[in-house]
Structure 1
Amino acid sequence: MRLFTAIELNEEAKRELVRLQQELKKTLSCRKWQTQSQMHLTLHFLGDLSLQQAELVKQEMEDVAASFSPFSLTLTNVGAFPNLKRPRVIWAGVGGHLKDLGSLQQTLAKQLTKGELYKEERAYSPHITLGREPRMEGDPESVRLPDVYPTSWHVSQIVLFHSTLTPKGPIYKTLGTYSLRS
């Protein structure tokens, strides 16, 4: 099972992300744009795990979530990985209570790593993917990234998703939702 942990967005944030995509489509094309239902803030990509391992992930998520209080995040900007000159991913940045987000992500990463359920060498960079493999016409310097309306949402839970890859793109199914302490 191909799994990842994430934070869901509210509908207002998803609408703003769709608006940003529409603006971006005026100056670039992507091999794959994320659909509104695919938009989320990934915490950890776990890769292929067994059913037994998935159950262990669920337990760790439940335990960690219960030790954190809810917090808020805000959409902040648009950018590209690794950069605009050679972009592979177009993304929306996240601001707000980043200390809380980082602590939640790191605490869960530590627990999942202990159980040999997760391994990541790169530092966590919170973002929401808008499109993959963008193609720009002309000079990358001329691409105008749209301004983001600073839309906020309340984070009160974390989610375990199963991702099935299809020719039309990934299909995400919720395997578990874990509430932060109230």
Structure 2
Amino acid sequence: MRLFAALVPPEPVLISLANAVAPLRDLPYRWTAPEHWHVTLAFFGEVDDATRLELERRLARAAARHAPVTLALTGGGGFGSAKNARVLWTGVRGDFQPLRDLARSVTAAARRAGIELTENRYKPHLTLARLRTPTDVRPAVEALTEYASPTWTATEVELVRSHLAQGAGGRARYETIASWPLAGKV
């Protein structure tokens, strides 16, 4: 099964973001559905059942060592660049170093469970849209420049299964299969 670990913003944050993005929905992007919005901590790819059980055990331990993190969504950008992007995103601000530390612990838990991950610098974000070909997303980025969501406190890590091509319009469908509280001391 295809898995990733994520923090999911609460409904008021999702509603705020949906309102900010609504005027942009006419742009010809493959928009992600608000019910799929999340901040990825690590993407694990295909994981067999035995490895998943070990991953769950290790993720529970990792989450227990970290305190909740206070975050907000802000602005916009594009991966590779706003002028030539494959992904339109909104950024994350707040307890940035604790968030990076949490992502590092989640990645270490996956490696200890036997999952091979590529070494990438962690860039916290929430994906708003994917683009089939590199596209100039500067109009959307400019429209999101002043956006800032309400602040929220992420209190749990979710392990999410991605069912490719099983959602609306042939897109992925996400299913949370486990979650653990961020239980460390603040």
2:66 equivalent to 1:68: yes
Equivalent residue, structure 2, for 1:93: 91
Q: Relative to structure 2, which stretch is displaced further, 14-23 or 158-167?
A: 14-23
User: Structure 1 residues 149 and 57, CA, compared in 2 at 3 Å: closer, same or farther?
Assistant: same
Distance 1:92 1:128 in 2: 5
8 Å Cα contact 1:87/1:134 also seen in 2:
no
Structure 1: gaps (5+ residues): none
8 Å Cα contact 1:4/1:43 also seen in 2:
yes
User: Structure 1 residues 136 and 87, CA, compared in 2 at 3 Å: closer, same or farther?
Assistant: closer
| CA shift digits 1:41-88 (9 cap, x unpaired) | 111110001011111110011001111111210112111111111111
Which of the residues 156, 162, 171 maps onto 2:173? 171
Q: TM-score scaled to structure 1, two decimals? A: 0.90
Runs of 4+ in 1 over 2 A off after TM superposition: 23-26, 134-137, 139-147
Aligned-pair Cα RMSD in Å: 2.1
User: Structure 1 residues 47 and 158, CA, compared in 2 at 3 Å: closer, same or farther?
Assistant: same
Q: Report the residue type matching 1:61 in the other structure.
A: L
Equivalent residue, structure 1, for 2:113: 115
- SS of the aligned residue for 2:180 comes to strand
Equivalent residue, structure 1, for 2:183: 181
Q: Report the residue type matching 1:33 in the other structure.
A: W
Give the number of equivalent residue pairs.
179
Identity of aligned pairs, percent?
26
Q: Report the residue type matching 2:150 in the other structure.
A: T
State the 1:168 CA deviation: 2.1
Equivalent residue, structure 1, for 2:157: 158
Q: TM-score scaled to structure 2, two decimals? A: 0.88
